[in-house]
Amino acid sequence: GNMPKSRVLLLKEIEEGKFVFYSNYNSQKGKDIDENPNVSLLFFYIQSQRQIRINGTVEKLPRTKAVEYFKSRPLESQISAAASPQSTIITKENLISNVEKIRSSDSLNCPEHWGGYSVSPKEFEFWQGQPARLHDRIIYKKGDVGWDTYRLAP
């Protein structure tokens, strides 16, 4: 449905101004992205009381990037990606069985349902905690030409 869901993701790189991560395309996250390509990323730095929120649109990366990155991952991470039908109901025993089948097979390739996404930013909010909750909130919003910048009340 329309219920938003948040996830912790591993940001792998920033390439050509886009934020890149990898996942199972069949997961709930993948299905949500297929339905609605508008996403929000959040980076929070508790020690420095800083936060960056990025709103943008997401799209799949080319298959060649997924295969290249998959091969660079540790073996256990490759096995896990191939063995897990992410976001589906499964017993621990079935998951372990899937892992053992893959571990004992001769070939381990990047699954067709696994790959990369890139997020094209449309808006950044830089938040800095301040005394008395008078926090700084500075917005950069992509305009027709360049970026518009303004401050929001805390």
151 assigned to active site: no
Among residues 7, 63, 133, 151, the one annotated as catalytic is 133
**3-state SS of 18-81?**
EEEEEEECCCHHHHHHHHCCEEEEEEEECCCCEEEEEEEEEEECCHHHHHHHHHHCCHHHHHHH
141: β partners:
123, 148
User: Cβ contacts of residue 65 below 8 Å, gap of 6+?
Assistant: 115, 116
Residues involved in catalysis: 133
